[in-house]
Chains A and B, each alone.
Chain A
Amino acid sequence: MWPIVVIASNTFRENLRDKILYNLLLFAVLLMGASMLLADLTILEHYKIMTDMGLAAINLVGVIIAVFVGIGLVSKEIERRTIYTIVARPISRAQFVVGKYLGLITTLVVNVLVMLSVFLLTLWGYHAPVHWVLVQAVQLIVVELMLITAIALFFSTFSSATLSAIFTIGLYIIGHVTTDLRGLAQKSHSEAVKVVANGVYYLCPNLDMLNMKGQAALGIAIPLSYQALATTYGLLYAGMLIVGACLIFQQRDF
């Protein structure tokens, strides 16, 4: 357990010293500023637009960090050969992979918490109602980020950073349309389309299940049972990918 903590805390420190993260935080602040500007232009949907834009900004910034830092978590270590002296220590390769993953997750959680705080303060400053559902939606965003990071990490254990980025972004996009794909499978008359669409639906992660931003913007509470189910689904899927990443990484030559 101890080596995982050491690797994770060092990864977190690396992320903090990486100026890109600070730029993304600034980006989030600017985006939320824009949402306030837009909100000033409308009267009736003031709160909805602010919430929509705020949650979307938190989600977008988180996804950018998860994808572009996640794809380099392992591949960068191999390309720069920093892995040599780490793997030569009394730690297993699986501990290294899990440590790198948890380090980035810590970074993401801290970033999301900072963005959420700014977002809630903004709402409070405008005397807009703050519902519990906002926190629920952000919690599911964190689960989605954990899943996307696991996807990026999985691909980075056996492919280059560029390919990992393409695969991860591709899976992210598919993950948000899997429900539509299932609908397509049900309506289609072609057996081939049904098989492919159903296959993609069951194999790819259903990220739409974790997207409660629209509901949160309307102030409609998310049932706790649904939140628990979606969280469990996301964490299990991420866990499977991490196990896969560890198994692949275990077999690699450097």
Chain B
Amino acid sequence: MDAIRIEGLVKRFRSGWPGLPPATVLDGLSLSVREGEIYGFLGPNGSGKTTTIKVLMGLIRATAGTAEIFGKPAGDVQIRRRIGFLPEAPYFYDYLTAEEFLTFYGHLAGMGRDILEARVPQLLEMVGLAEARARQLRKFSKGMLQRIGLAQALIHDPELVILDEPMSGLDPIGRKQVRDLILGLRDQGKTVFFSTHIIPDVEMICDRVGVIVKGKLLTTGRVDDLAGHGHTQSVEIVCQGITVGEIPAIGTTAVRVLQQGPQALIVLPNPDRLEDILGEIRKHGGRLISVTPQKGSLEELFFPSVSQGAGMESGRRA
């Protein structure tokens, strides 16, 4: 069974002014997330990621289409026992201490005091906040709030964890901690569905990715497949003992050449003429150091389609 199944989801928001048409944020979105995988929901700002997650969590109602979690309609109160949720830029009751905060959410999930007495310190340790257990949340940094937010999402040991931009606004260390936590969840057999507009986050940890642009799913699949499929791979050749300028065949084929003393870096746009170029190198007495096929990144694959939506962060920040 799929952990999440969304079919033909439409969400329109009223404009607030009579006569103005409603804004369509989700426009027939369909996707599915299998149990036990990390699914990255990638899209630029305003593409409909948070709206999709809000529908899944029952915070808003869809205009049309269906959204199911473990086969039950999204918004079903009982199914929420199996879900952990961290919203984007979360706000919490800041008058509570970290310990009180987790105990409160544990109670809301129906957990008893005895279980929570063991579970709360364990989770605080896991997210690196054991020393801040008696500190009020109003004294927490942004990174600490994100981590305690993750802890509340995990307090009841859910099977599915839904995270909205979990790494947004964190420094490199914080981002790595969150990434490690997500990978740890996969090791425990959990399903993780997280949204982001930062491509490297997806490339690093996701099993599968779905790209949403303007409320529609542009594509979905395994990260490796998407990065390589339908996309011309370049080839990087490093060799020694030749002067590239003296070999016309290389000059006309390569898209980039870098000569540093006896060593040369040659980049071919595709592998089609690889054998010919290798032959030319050998013929001119060159010694081959390495041949590396360059797999396309998600960024290179999606940028032309997504750039119209704007807002996709392509910087490798962590």
Contact = CB atoms under 8 A, between A and B. Distances in A.
Interface of A: 2-3, 6-7, 10, 13-14, 17-18, 80-82, 84-92, 253-254
B224 to A, nearest CB: 33
A2 B110 CA distance: 8
A85 B95 contact: no
B169 to A, nearest CB: 15
B95 A89 contact: no
Contacts of A91: 77, 108
B179 interface: no
A10 B104 contact: yes
Contact of B87 (A17, A84, A89, A92): A84
B81 A6 contact: no
B93 A82 contact: yes
Interface of B: 54, 57-61, 77-78, 80-81, 83, 85-87, 90-93, 95-96, 104-105, 107-110, 149, 152-153
A92 B77 CA distance: 7
A91 B107 CA distance: 11
Give the 4 A-B CB pairs with smallest separation, nearest first. A253-B60, A88-B85, A89-B108, A84-B87
Given A81-B90, A87-B58, A88-B59, 19 more contacts: A2-B107, A7-B108, A13-B95, A13-B96, A17-B95, A82-B91, A82-B93, A84-B57, A84-B85, A85-B92, A85-B152, A86-B108, A88-B58, A88-B80, A88-B83, A89-B80, A90-B110, A92-B77, A253-B60
A21 B9 CA distance: 46
16 contacts: A2-B107, A2-B110, A10-B93, A10-B96, A13-B95, A17-B95, A84-B57, A84-B90, A85-B86, A85-B105, A86-B108, A88-B83, A89-B80, A89-B109, A90-B110, A254-B54
A185 B262 CA distance: 106
A88 B110 CA distance: 13
Nearest to B93: A82
A9 to B, nearest CB: 9
B59 A87 contact: yes
